[in-house]
Amino acid sequence: MAEERSVSIEVVYRGIFQKTLAQRICRSVVLAARKRGHTGTAFARYGDSPERNGVPAKQFAVVAADELELEASMAKYEPSVVDVSIAVDDTLVKGVESWAWYGRQPIWKPVRANGWLLVTSDKKPDEVLAQTDKAERPYTLGIVPGGASFAGLWVYKDDHTDFRVLGALAKILPQWIALDDAKAASLELAKGDQSAVASVQYGYDATTMRRVKDGEGTSGHEVLQFKKPGWTKMRPGVIVEARKPGERNPYYKKYGARTMRPVVNFDTCIKCTMCWLDCPDECFEVTPEGHYEVVYEACIGCGICAQVCPVKDCIVMVDELKFTDNKDKWQLWKTDHSKYNSWFEDMSGVSADPKKGASGSVPPNANPAANAATNPGADPAANPTTSAGGDE
């Protein structure tokens, strides 16, 4: 930290789906810090941030001891080093590609040595760390309880993720955000709703911290890397090459945008083509047997295929953090049915044999839009103080 003179915080979020949430977190940080006499500002990288559904994006809050210091900090525009990075969807720890030409980067990339990475998650710190790129410098991982909130989709529905995060920040940065100030700010933002104060306290109390040493984390994400040409190397004019039959654009991989991915039960598939027809990203390839397999490098995890598939549990959406690569799975089904079916059951929690019924609980709908509509409190059980929500 620039020796207690300023503090930089970034919020990494799913573009569009979590935009309002990110804004609210950044604004609440500044509001709480101002109550202590600090000064600060909240901003997006671009005022007209070119966001895309699900594609990682960032917003920032910079708080400083005085205006002069704030001005010096603001000269950075997009802080390349931050004290705290906040990921409001735990699948973002698999790496982010937020500005389209950097390529995939570790979630901790801008976090200074001994800084903090706060992740909203219903998983344990070690489970999240297992999917986070190997650390190149030590930091502290904080898990703020709660699932990924898509409360910022079009209409804001407050599930108090913002207040839980504010409570967690009061815990790690008490010199900038005092707990009492965080509570006062939340009360103001929630227009007097006392449950906001309880959520700040809950975030403060229930956030678990884990020190991460240099070298901890996974080195497995190298398989997710791919080369991008970079905009400076593009040919004159705007040239987007068409996809040739049987090929896919090597620079156009969208898996960084998804929080869930589909798994297919080839045994129950009736080859109706609905998934192939309706996938907005042409992710399905036809197998020699006439099945449809997902090309995971192209899938954005929208969940449409699972919704249009007429066969119950033939396509099931599964938490992205359960996967470590993008390998297609049809080859496994072809060579070893029972091994594939065990994999399907393990991943989906659904029996591969419909006669046997469900082997576990069915995961929630993967489509963020559907989540927002049917599950406004993304994980109400994780937060006893969550309000019922409502349109603002």
Residues that bind ligand SF4 (CB under 6 A): 262, 264, 269-275, 279, 281, 283, 292, 294, 299-305, 309, 311, 314-315
Residue closer to ligand SF4 by CB (options 143, 153) is: 153
DSSP 157-172: B--SHHHHHHHHHHHH
Give the angle subtended at the CA of 50 by the CAs of 32 and 147, to the nearest 5°. 55
Give 325's strand partners.
none
Residue closer to ligand SF4 by CB (options 367, 375) is: 367
Residue 94 CB, nearest approach to ligand SF4 (Å): 16
Residue 367 CB, nearest approach to ligand SF4 (Å): 8
Structure tokens given for 39:
């000064």
Residue closer to ligand SF4 by CB (options 64, 315) is: 315
Measured over the CA atoms of residue 288, residue 292, residue 296 and residue 298, the dihedral's sign is: positive
Residue 322 CB, nearest approach to ligand SF4 (Å): 15
Residue closer to ligand SF4 by CB (options 140, 326) is: 326
d(CA 267, CA 279): 21
Residue closer to ligand SF4 by CB (options 96, 315) is: 315
HSE-CB for 164 with a 13 A CA cutoff: 33
Measured over the CA atoms of residue 265, residue 269, residue 272 and residue 273, the dihedral's sign is: positive
Q: What are phi and psi of 111, to 5 degrees?
A: -75, 125
Residue 72 CB, nearest approach to ligand SF4 (Å): 44
Residue 347 CB, nearest approach to ligand SF4 (Å): 14
Residue 317 CB, nearest approach to ligand SF4 (Å): 7
Query: Distance between alpha carbon 271 and the CA centroid of its chain, in Å?
Result: 33
d(CA 361, CA 137): 38
Residue 55 CB, nearest approach to ligand SF4 (Å): 13
Terminal-to-terminal C-alpha distance of the chain: 36
Residue closer to ligand SF4 by CB (options 113, 311) is: 311
Residue closer to ligand SF4 by CB (options 59, 265) is: 265
Longest Cα–Cα distance of the chain, Å, equals 69
